[in-house]
Structure 1
């Protein structure tokens, strides 16, 4: 659709989530897009498109919601049931703002996102859950490195696998290196060549440039499997001019030398972070479409000194990992237990003002590659409300212009009755979505403490089900069991937290988007019904026209044929002119008008097809019942048990149906094929049913059971019988046999055990 509707087809929008319109990345991307980007009222990125013949501006959250709506409909169509829960993948380097924006998009559609899952974690789950040979939990884990180069980004991660669990040790990335960069190199090369050879500038026309991108992507794929010269040919490229060129793999690699050099940097970064050596890595798994480029594969293999593995589906690995995670989180599926511990990609710190001399306190709450999900409890001593500011500790390592995450104001804090500072416990966490938050705050009353520190830190680890588990570090201040302190009664007072996040839609705007999306879904449904009605008319016209010159030709008279053909042609012309964009009911009425003429012809054809078969079947049944009646009259033993009156009913019914059938055949013979039939298939079926209902119960009557006479057994009747009283012949004939031999000398009867 993109080439024919370039200005109204939105693509490559995932990276606009959570960014301001004036973001340098957005402004740079804006130049490459075929559609218009505009600023929203809240400073975010908006997309200007035509919808329902009117100009609309949609936020990037709404655009993603439209995509999710389509995916939801596709899933529901295949599953034949509603879909509400999902797991959505995000690049590992997505910041909090980008993740929250994507969650808003899911909320607009009404999807319950169980987890935002990092791409590389999803790949690792897909790899590990099927492995039966992983080391036991107490053994040394297996280290696997996953490398993913997709359309627009390059991501790597190292994971440690034990039986039924995986832990992400570290991640690294180049967010601006992907398959599209290689396509861009080819496009630039051929643009220059076409300009010098044909005096045409592809970059001056969007449609021409998109076609060149499409052909260059095909060329790149062909070069991945072929090292010879590959031609590039585009017909009617610009100004009705055909263009051509060629490229081979070695030229391509030379062209992309600077891109290929960038591959090693994330790999080096990963090994430094995780303190791993190349020999510690058991396997290197590659996924993503761009890893099929031989030079990319060679660079990765050379770095690790081993062949890369391609056991995973390069295009589906992430989606499969998300599906497995969704199944694990859903109660509707039974999946073997598999624990997933993710890593935080960027270090996160907290900043606050101390009460002494207006100085600032800073504490790094989560280091880079810290396990996630995870919670920590910070204890502050304060006399009044205070503010915490969360930010990324290393702004240069974040591919996002804003290092701040948000500000959190802990409200309703007051000094103790004696004027001393109150103890305030603040829980900070990174949840399963990879999003940081100050989740809860509480004031402990009363507090008897002589500690002078401004803040102390306690830790809570979160398991997969998000239930906090107390770490041993929570109990640092405990006394040994023998020195018990007197119990002091305290109460925790929950404190409200006001969060001011860097990127947040707000409830009013979110509700408006939800309402708009609902209206558009309904509009899509109505539009689909309208299109289906239009397509039904078009389909009927083409199908009937073909059949009128084929199987239906004999079943319509010349006059009706000419009139109906003219109507079909007229309807076809109407469809492509004034009937191009009519309401659903107009198409429904049009189809009804056509069927008034078409249905009788179709019925005559179907009747002519079915009638002979049904008459033949009826004839066979009549013959069958007539034969039985004849055998009954001839005193056949098989039927002598049937009552005379019953058989007379059969004979009468057969006679009546034969007469009806003869009349029907005679009447039909006088009709031509283009006339309505004298007898319909439904009537024949009814007669056949009537015949079977009357005759079948009579002719299938079972014979009455007769008790067989008892056989006289002299052996049983003579109680004083002895074998020696028998003659030799009687002995041989009457005595039991075993194994086919007679035993005349046996004095006792033989007993046999039968299984």
Structure 2
């Protein structure tokens, strides 16, 4: 049985939730943190993903890739990438498919990894964390993505999951996932008839997203969504860091922007200062040896920070107003404003949101974990083995999509099938008259709705097997078009139909008497009935099966390499620990259990092994570390065995002594009791004698 789990792939940190124990649990990582840094570092022998990557990011800046979801499925020439480049320390290049790849030094050579591969590496690590925590079968995942992700980016996210060996049961919008969690876990506060109108505002590390939802018990509809792609916590961090960078030029005569490592360390300090200012009106900043062996220090007030970020705060109202417009609502129609995302802890931002809506904000959802909890519930909904409370939800379609085909007998050669503002999942059926095999394309209808640089064509399909009836020039073809739960546009089925005479039961008219003994009447009518199923060949932006299999094999081989390096390091550490432990015990605990010859021989072996470990064996193989360990243990275990045998003898002797002492004490008590009984007057009542006997028995 698969354990359903949901992943909130954050730009800075990722949170994992799992459906188990009749509820939703947050999964902690290897260092017991409830969130995991979203980055990958590449070393000379292995990868450092998550916590280990964060720990060595400063020293391995050029070979560490973060901001993973900002480049997933993005084209290198996309206008958005021009903005994103400044946030990356690793060099990014254009790959053969026009996408983005990271060029890093790994395993002693220059290597390139696509954005999809990088996301798959990280998701695979998340899968491993979940498996180690739950010990369950981890196969199904619900992954959340930003509402502004296009079809291509959504398919890249699904590909990343599959490369990591997971089945993406649903790709869901981040704010929608949080809204689902609200609808499910706050059900006791929701109405059953008229829906409650809730605005969900998510401001995370890199983006601001707003969704207006109608929520009632067991049901949710997203009425409008909007976003600002370049508004988040990192923008606040950069505002603080740039302020101090300018200050340090005059104060310390250094320009930290010229040194990537120095600026990264300043950025990390700025993030900590931002968090302190969320609870305090003033905070210091100190960075030791930031560059040229210079220590820097300064301070910042909350008022100064609010001044730096004023241009950002002046943009907050735009996506909120857009979402309200899409939902055809005003501020007065909003019943509650639920705020999530780490950046919403900034006091000035909270005040601005409250001012825009003209109402108090609500923080009933966990700001960091709401999305992952919603994802886990959605994944559980798709599980064939788990029962969850019924909950229906529909999302908002942000872009209008039309289907195009070659014009033959139809009046039109395209149709807007899924308009902007419609709800999905959604299914439409259209009929075309075709002479033979044909092609269909799905395209975004209005380019002005799209983020700049977005390709207009989503998917192409080739429909094969169309054969008109004899004597006819064309045949009706029915296409089942679908905007599926993950937001993908598909042709779910296609078949030809033909007109046939079929018998249809004649129903009695209303009020007409029916003779129950009479035979039922039938009439022949012409109807379109299914003739042949057609073959559908899709050409999507997703990876081909062959390409995905190759990348999966590559990822599996890298996982094995990482495991081998980790196991080798463990064996090396075990050998080093055994050398010091055995040497110490040989002079203390084991000194009476080894002959002088054994001590001399073992000491010599320990010395030689230690010298080898720090010289030729510093970067050796797992097998050699094991062999060296077993060589020392072959003598060490004999001496240890003698010591343990003697300790067991001591324990046995001590137990026997304690048992003898206890027996003597018991005999003494019994003797004293008998003597006391003899000294009692004979006129004691029988009842009192019985009471004394009971007392003696208790003493025994």
Q: TM-score, normalised by structure 2?
A: 0.79
SS of residue in 2 equivalent to 1:486: strand
Q: How does 1:328-727 map to 2 (within 5 A)?
A: 328-355=381-408, 361-399=413-451, 401=453, 402-446=455-499, 486-488=525-527, 490-501=529-540, 503-544=541-582, 568=606, 571-619=609-657
8 Å contact from structure 2 (residues 497, 528) kept in 1? no
CA apart distance, 1:103: 1.0
Alignment match, 1:270 = 323
The number of residue pairs the alignment matches comes to: 596
> 1:156 aligned to 2:156?
no
CA apart distance, 1:521: 2.2
8 Å contact from structure 1 (residues 13, 60) kept in 2? yes
Distance 2:219 2:499 in 1: 43
Alignment match, 1:465 = none
Higher strand proportion (structure 1 or 2):
2
**Greater Cα radius of gyration, structure 1 or 2:** 1
2:235 corresponds to which of 181, 191, 201: 181
Deviations 1:390-416 (A, max 9, x none): 222232332351232123333444555
Q: How does 1:285-364 map to 2 (within 5 A)?
A: 285-355=338-408, 361-364=413-416
Distance 1:211 1:549 in 2: 47
Unaligned residue ranges in structure 1 (runs of 5+): 449-478, 629-755
CA apart distance, 1:341: 1.9
Distance 1:205 1:434 in 2: 43
> 1:86 aligned to 2:86?
no
Unaligned residue ranges in structure 2 (runs of 5+): 1-55, 502-506, 511-521, 667-700
Identify the range of structure 1 (20-29 vs 324-333) with the bigger mean alpha-carbon deviation: 20-29
Higher relative contact order (CA closer than 8 Å, sequence separation 6+): 2
CA apart distance, 1:91: 1.0
Counterparts in 2 of 1:441 and 1:249: CA distance versus 1, 3 Å: same
Deviations 1:565-604 (A, max 9, x none): 6755654454343322111111112212333454355445
Distance 2:146 2:202 in 1: 10
Distance 2:586 2:368 in 1: 48
Distance 1:576 1:194 in 2: 43
8 Å contact from structure 1 (residues 422, 447) kept in 2? no
SS of residue in 1 equivalent to 2:169: strand
CA apart distance, 1:134: 4.3
Deviations 1:424-457 (A, max 9, x none): 2111111111111122222212489xxxxxxxxx
1:224 corresponds to which of 237, 256, 278: 278
Counterparts in 2 of 1:553 and 1:186: CA distance versus 1, 3 Å: farther
Alignment match, 1:51 = 106
8 Å contact from structure 1 (residues 446, 491) kept in 2? no
8 Å contact from structure 2 (residues 70, 84) kept in 1? no
Counterparts in 2 of 1:132 and 1:17: CA distance versus 1, 3 Å: closer
Distance 1:105 1:344 in 2: 23
Distance 2:293 2:122 in 1: 35
Distance 1:408 1:294 in 2: 51
Distance 1:132 1:603 in 2: 63
SS of residue in 2 equivalent to 1:225: coil
Identify the range of structure 1 (14-23 vs 421-430) with the bigger mean alpha-carbon deviation: 14-23
Deviations 1:522-569 (A, max 9, x none): 222322221221121122234445556766677668887687567556
Counterparts in 2 of 1:384 and 1:489: CA distance versus 1, 3 Å: closer
SS of residue in 1 equivalent to 2:623: helix
8 Å contact from structure 1 (residues 134, 142) kept in 2? no
Counterparts in 2 of 1:67 and 1:580: CA distance versus 1, 3 Å: same
CA apart distance, 1:87: 1.0
Identify the range of structure 1 (519-528 vs 112-121) with the bigger mean alpha-carbon deviation: 519-528
Distance 1:568 1:203 in 2: 50
Distance 1:194 1:359 in 2: 69
Distance 1:542 1:343 in 2: 64
Deviations 1:680-726 (A, max 9, x none): xxxxxxxxxxxxxxxxxxxxxxxxxxxxxxxxxxxxxxxxxxxxxxx
Counterparts in 2 of 1:244 and 1:379: CA distance versus 1, 3 Å: same
8 Å contact from structure 1 (residues 175, 399) kept in 2? no
Identify the range of structure 1 (199-208 vs 265-274) with the bigger mean alpha-carbon deviation: 199-208
Counterparts in 2 of 1:272 and 1:489: CA distance versus 1, 3 Å: closer
CA apart distance, 1:377: 0.6
> 1:125 aligned to 2:164?
no
CA apart distance, 1:278: 1.7
1:259 corresponds to which of 303, 312, 315: 312
Alignment match, 2:11 = none
Deviations 1:255-301 (A, max 9, x none): 11111111110110111110122222221111111111111111111
Counterparts in 2 of 1:404 and 1:532: CA distance versus 1, 3 Å: same
Distance 1:13 1:329 in 2: 27
> 1:171 aligned to 2:209?
no
